[in-house]
Structures are given as C-alpha cells and as structure tokens.
Structure 1
Amino acid sequence: MEQKNSQYVRQFVGYARYDTTEEFEALREVYRVLCPLLNLFYPSTKLIAKHRENATIHKTYDTPQTPFSRVLASPFVSLTAKEQLSALKAGYDPVVLRYNLDTALDKLHHAHSNKTLIEVLYEKE
C-alpha cells in the first residue's frame, strides 16, 4: 500500500496504540477504504535520481502519478490485467471513498477515546 510506514498510514491513523476489538474492527475498516483511495486516486512522486554535490544532495523526482496510472503505463502488465484494473477503478467514487474514510476514522478515534483500562486488561488475558 505504501512505500514507507510514515508516508500515508501514520498520516491518517496516527501513532496511538489500538488494542481492543472495537479499535481493531474500526482500523480494519479504515484500511479497507484507504487502500483503493491511495492506489487509484492519490498521486505520488517517485525518486528518479539522487546525486551529491559537495555536501548537498540533489534529488530528482518524476511527475506525480497515481499507482494505478503507473501500472497502466507499464509494458510489463498484460492487457487483461489493465482492463480488470480499469473496471475496478470505474466502480469507485473518490468522493464517496473519502467520506467513508472520514467516517471510519471518526469511529476509530471514538473507539480509542472511549476505551477503559479494564477493556485493555481484559483483552490481554
């Protein structure tokens, strides 16, 4: 889903400890919505080159594209796989996905803020 741990998941979910069943289910819903949103609709840049000039490191990035666009541009992916991915993307609406993500994040934060110490201790046994 992501290139680095802090790139997207931590940006959306945060660094809190989610250890109850209710939090686990809410986190599962966040990931279910976040995966197609990031891979089909959110563009990202990729590092093309990096060179050092004295003490300065210069990085060159390509133009921002979604992972979906990168797959479609790849000559190594078969035409049938590209058609299946295009059909998959046609079934999603980015506005609805973002609304569902916000709802899932609200449920996650609500579950985290309402848990008690007894729930945490009970879950560990």
Structure 2
Amino acid sequence: MEQKNGAVVRRSAFNYRYDTDTELRLLNELWPLVNLRKNLFLPTKKVTGYHLSSKGKTVRSYDDPRTPAQRIKDTGIMLEPQGQHIKDLYASLDLAGLTNRINEIQQRLIRLAAAKTYSQSPHAA
C-alpha cells in the first residue's frame, strides 16, 4: 500500500523539493484533487489468487477493475448518508475540469522548482 501511495505522490508532484509557502499552498490544493480523481474515477485491479499455468509457472488472477469508491460501496459497510454523499460528490464533479486543474497546479509547481533549480546552478550567473 505504501509503495502504491508513494508512486501516486511522485507521479502527481514529481521528485522536486518544495520548501516555500507558495509551493506548500499549491501542494495542499493539489492533494484533495488527486485523491478525488484517484478514488472516484481511476479503476484498479486487485489480485484475487494464484494458479499454475500449463507450463508450471505461477500466474496471478485479478478481479474486474473497480474504483476504490466502488469497492467500498460494494462491501455494504457504508451508511446511507455516506453513500448519498459519494453519489452527490460524483455527480457534481467534472473529470475533465478536475484533470485540467490538477495539470495547472502541476505546471505551476514545475515552474517554481525549475526557477529554483536554475537559480542555484553554476550557469545562472
């Protein structure tokens, strides 16, 4: 789980060092948007078991792709108000607009990191 979350963080915010208030504000704006997209719109497959192929190699079997929100809903443990909140949230979101906003924030973070990197390089003089 931690490895997968680390991959999401690096894919969303890259490998730059962020240490200014502006960058912190942008990161704090970015994470909720990334989490909404990941949990409501990006399906994943989960390993359901292993079996041997005809050649004796161990092969994984997967379930059908579902989003994390669908997986929680399918367990039946959510209360009705929580389920309704998820439905309302899903209906109110625009995936294209959400993705565009994430991309805008990422581009601003890249520009800020590139400016710092360039200003600290020996060729900046």
TM range (shorter): 0.7 to 0.9
Instruction: Give the Å deviation of 1:55.
Output: 8.2
Question: Where do 5+ consecutive residues of structure 1 fail to align?
Answer: 118-125
CA RMSD after TM alignment? 2.5
TM-score, normalised to structure 2, is 0.78
| Distance across 2 between alignment mates of 1:102 and 1:112 | 15
What residue in structure 2 maps to residue 4 of structure 1? 4
CA offset digits 1:39-65 (Å, max 9, x no partner) = 111111112124578984422211111
Question: Where do 5+ consecutive residues of structure 2 fail to align?
Answer: 121-125
What residue in structure 2 maps to residue 62 of structure 1? 63
| Distance across 2 between alignment mates of 1:3 and 1:74 | 24
What residue in structure 2 maps to residue 122 of structure 1? none
Give the total of aligned pairs.
Answer: 117
What residue in structure 1 maps to residue 89 of structure 2? 88
More relative contact order in 1 or in 2 (CA 8 Å, sep 6+)?
1
| Distance across 2 between alignment mates of 1:17 and 1:28 | 15
TM-score, normalised to structure 1, is 0.78
- Range with bigger deviation, 102-111 or 82-91: 82-91
Runs of 4+ in structure 1 off by over 3 angstroms are 50-57
Higher share of residues assigned helix: 2
Percent identity over the alignment? 27
SS for the counterpart of 2:61 is: strand
